[in-house]
Amino acid sequence: MFVARIDGTITSTVKHKSLCGVRLLIGQRLEADGTEVGEPLVLIDDLGAGLGSQVLVTSDHAFARQKLADNTTPSRMMVVGIIDGLSHRAIGSSGQ
């Protein structure tokens, strides 16, 4: 799993039957400190994430197949949570 920021949406007139009724979003993967990592990704969203939202993404193909109820779905990256806030503590920090 990883955190991503929603940067846009994708509109498709033709798509795999398992993706009918779900939104396709453009997400930018983020490091813990908020810096961008890699290229933007296509994410499947059935939770209603908005533009600029930070989301939790799974890359578990089995989860996507189960959630979309289709063993033939070509999907992998799926939004599994919308993040309200993040707190980050450096590794090795005493927390005091």
More confident residue, 54 or 68: 54
Give the pair of three-digit tokens for residue 61. 């193909």
DSSP state of 36: B
Closest by CA position to 76, among listed 10, 7, 18, 13: 18
Which residue segments constitute the domains of the chain, with CATH numbers given?
Answer: 2-82 (2.40.50.220)
Beta bridge partners of 20: none
Q: For residue range 12-61, list pLDDT tens digits in order.
A: 888 888 888 889 999 999 998 889 999 999 999 989 999 999 999 998 87
Question: What are the φ and ψ backbone dihedral angles of 65, each rounded to 5 degrees?
Answer: -60, -45
